[in-house]
Chain A
C-alpha cells in the first residue's frame, strides 16, 4: 500500500454482513435438508387418489411442510374445478 492507496477512500467493511447472512441461510437450509425428498412422490400419489373421484389438474394439489416451534405441519390444499353449468 503506497501513498496513493492511503489517500483513496476505503470501502465499507462488508465481511460482517456476509457472515450474518450466511449464518441464517445455512441454518435454514440445514433444517429442511433430508426431509422433503418424499414430498413430490406423496403429491403424485395423492393426486392419483383424488383423481379417482374428481377430475383435478396436476397443478391443483399443493403440499408444503412447515416447521413451527417443534411441530411439523404438513399442509395440503386441493383446488377443485369450478362446477360448470350443464350444457344446453
Chain B
C-alpha cells in the first residue's frame, strides 16, 4: 500500500523543500521505495536541494500531459537507488496540473510498488497547494516559531480537515504531523521566541519533530545534499528522529534545550 505524504505550510520560506528532501531521503534510508514530487510548477527547486538539477529531462507536467512516461521522468537518486525525484516544470504555468492528472501519476506510482510518495507543496493555499494535499494520507505541516507561520499553519490544518479526498469521502482524517523548524532554544529561553509547548498549545496538536536552526541547512542546500545526510549537524539528526517517528518509532525530542557551555566558552564566547 502506497502512503502519500504532503509537506505543506501555507507560508513560504519555512523549510518545506528542505523537509521534503530530508524526509524522502530518510524514508529511503530505512529501505522504503520512495518518490518525491515537486508540486511548485514554475518555481522548481526540489531538484536543486536534492542535487539532481542537471539530470532533469522530463518533469511532472510532461507525465500529466502524457508527453513522457513516468519511467522517463523519474530521476533516480545518486545516493539511494530506491529514491526517485519527479521535478516540477519550470516553463509551464500552475494551471498545467489537474486533479485527474495528479491522480493518474499517483495511481501509476502505486502500481509501481512505491511505499511512500512525498508531495512537496508550493506556498500559499491556491491550486498547487490544493493539488499537493488533496490525495494525502499524511500531512507534515512545517511551522516556524513565529506569528505569521503559526497562523498560516492553522489555516492549512483546517484545509486538511475539509479539502482533501479523505475528508470529502468521510474516511479516516488525514494524519497530521506538526514539524517545528528553525528552532532556537537560546532565544526561547530568553523569552524571545515561541516555545515548542506554545506552538503545540496554540495549534492543539503535538509536534512530530523539532529541527534546530542550523548553519548546516544552508551548507547542505549549497551542496545539493539533503541535510539529513550530514552526520555532523543537529538538524540532520533531528530529521532522522522525525522520520523514525513518522514510521511509528518513539524517540524523545533532542536539541530543544540550551546546551550548557564550558567555562572558557562562556567567557570568550563561541
Q: What residues make up the interface of A, taking CB atoms closer than 8 Å to B?
A: 1-5, 10-11, 13-16, 18-19, 21-23, 25-26, 29-30, 33-34
Residues B150 and A13 in contact, CB atoms below 8 Å apart = no
Are B193 and A15 touching (Cβ within 8 A)?
Answer: yes
Query: Would you call B68 an interface residue if the criterion is a C-beta within 8 Å of the partner chain's C-beta atoms?
Result: no
Q: Are B194's CB and A33's CB within 8 A?
A: no
- The answer to whether A13 touches B269 (Cβ under 8 A) is no
Apart from A5-B269, A26-B203, 19 more pairs, CB < 8 Å: A2-B266, A10-B190, A13-B191, A14-B191, A15-B188, A15-B193, A15-B195, A16-B191, A18-B146, A18-B147, A18-B194, A18-B198, A19-B202, A21-B147, A22-B147, A22-B194, A22-B202, A26-B151, A29-B155
Which of A10, A13, A18 neighbours the largest number of chain B CB atoms within 10 Å of its CB? A18
Separation in Å of the B174 CB from the closest CB of chain A? Answer: 16
- Return the CB mask of B242-270 against A: 1 if under 8 Å, else 0: 00000000000000000001000011111
List the 8 closest A-B pairs by CB distance, nearest first. A2-B269, A13-B191, A22-B202, A19-B198, A26-B154, A33-B158, A18-B147, A15-B191
User: Residues of B contacting A33 with CB < 8 Å?
Assistant: 158
B153 to chain A: closest residue by CB: A26
Q: How far is the CB of A27 from chain B (nearest CB, A)?
A: 9
Number of B residues with CB within 8 Å of any CB on chain A = 24
A29 contacts B269, C-beta separation under 8 Å:
no
Write the nearest CB–CB distance from B146 to chain A, whole angstroms.
Answer: 8
Report whether B192 and A11 are in contact in the complex, using a CB–CB cutoff of 8 Å. Answer: yes
Interface residues as binary, B46-78 with A (CB distance below 8 Å gives 1, 0 otherwise): 000000000000000000000000000000000
**In the complex the two chains form, what is the Cα distance from A3 to B270 in whole Å?**
11
Given A15-B195, A26-B202: A2 touches B268 (CB 8 Å cut-off): yes
Q: B162 near A: Cβ within 8 Å?
A: yes
6 A-B contact pairs sorted by A residue (CB < 8 Å):
A1-B261, A2-B267, A2-B270, A10-B190, A13-B190, A26-B150
| Minimal beta-carbon separation of B144 from chain A (angstroms) | 12
User: Please, which residues of chain A bring their CB within 8 A of the CB of B270?
Assistant: 2
User: A30 CA to B150 CA in the complex, in Å?
Assistant: 13
Across-interface contacts of A34 in B (CB, < 8 A): 158, 162
